[in-house]
Amino acid sequence: MPSIFTHAAIPLALWCASERRRVSTRLLGAGVAAAMLPDADVLAFALHIPYADSFGHRGASHSLLFATLLAALAIAFAKALRASRLQAFAFVFICALSHPLLDALTSGGLGVALWWPWSDQRLFAPWRPIRVSPFANNFFSARGLQTVLSELRWVWLPLLVAVIGWKMVQSPQGWRRRADD
């Protein structure tokens, strides 16, 4: 898995790329929570649930169904999130789904149960450039530093470039600068 901090990168990038005040800070908070929540399944280790079990790490909480359920819950809180029902659903769904998709890009683990409950198969992306993060007690180690550097290279930097590029395309000043060149 990428570190818990990197799971927040997708909601933050979407928020930064959006028009001013289009995504409320409350909706951003819900998106960050939805992007991080699937890793609460590490509690399964304390409950002696095997990693490869449907309810083990990267199991059911890393599925399309889980992302959809979180997004449906966001509909119920749309008013409190200062969002339309559609906006709350879409933003939380994308943020929640970003978690297993990022995990599928990592170099370790058993893969993600993206299609659970329809399939127990664990999936990886064909290309896996992100170093898998060590668990909390080993995060502040040489391996943890390698993970952070990997995440900066493969997640944060591309998202930063994408947000800046998007803002330049959307900004009238960005268009004027290009026309003046």
DSSP letters of 83-123? S-HHHHHHHHHHHHHHHHHHHHTBSSSS-B-TTTTT----B
Cα–Cα distance, 31 to 18 (Å, whole number): 14
The pTM score is: 0.89
What mean pLDDT, rounded, does the chain reach? 90
Mean pLDDT of 47-73: 96
pLDDT of residue 170: 84
What pLDDT does 138 receive?
Answer: 62
Residues near 70 by beta carbon (within 8 Å), at least 6 away in sequence: 34, 37, 92, 93, 96
pLDDT for residue 2: 74
